[in-house]
Amino acid sequence: MARIREAGGTAEAVEADLADPAVAKALFDQAEKAFGPVEILVNNASGWLSDTFSPAERDGFGRPLRPVDAETHERLFAVDVRAPALLIAEFARRHLERGASWGRVIGLTSGGPDGFPTEVSYGAAKAAQENYTMSAARELGRHGVTANMVHPPVTDTGWVNEKVAIAVAADGVLPEVAQPDDVAEVITFLASHQGRRVTGQVVKMY
């Protein structure tokens, strides 16, 4: 769900199914109608489920697991890979067509090159999104666009329970669960003038 507020108007809720390939263009059309040219793209939306190659039925937090299959792959890659790629492509097309010289692409990732056990399709999808974003950094830099990924720590977006908080306190580099504002401030920096020389990076938070 996105909210687009027109100047002097009320917020309009826009439902967007990012698994639909046609949505990227439609979202840019809506945003440009309300605000004008899009200069900052944040790929924050994400699908999620727990899947695994192991025979385990639950993960370490007691959440149910399912085996990797075509459905888990399709559900996660449609939203976490194809949608960001199409959104970056639409951003780039419009940026170049209007001869713009300033832009930002920022994505959010999890896991890393060592994989993401018990969330293997999610981790693989985020790794693919990271690769698309690094390519955007190399290809669009000469057109004034920076592109980076943010790797947040465990963040309390409504799913963190006491067991998760205890695990973070015991094993985390920093002992507190992060808050959404902590992540938003890093994204704001990358989107700002201060972040103008930062591109092609995965900013790992703790």
**For residues 168 and 32, what is the distance between their CA atoms, to the nearest angstrom?**
41
**CA count, 13 A, side-chain hemisphere, 188:** 6
Q: Is 206 a catalytic residue?
A: no
Q: Does residue 155 contact residue 180 with C-beta atoms inside 8 Å?
A: yes
Helix (H, G, I), strand (E, B) or coil at 49: coil
Task: Name beta bridge partners: 147.
Answer: 105
User: What end-to-end distance do the CA atoms of the chain give, in Å?
Assistant: 28
Helix (H, G, I), strand (E, B) or coil at 56: coil
Q: Does residue 143 contact residue 103 with C-beta atoms inside 8 Å?
A: yes
CA dihedral 177, 180, 182, 187 (to 10 degrees): 140
Name the strand (E) or helix (H) holding 164: helix 162-171
Residue type, 9: G
- Of the candidates 28, 77, 91, 122, the residue annotated as catalytic is 122
What amino acid positions are annotated as catalytic residues?
A: 122
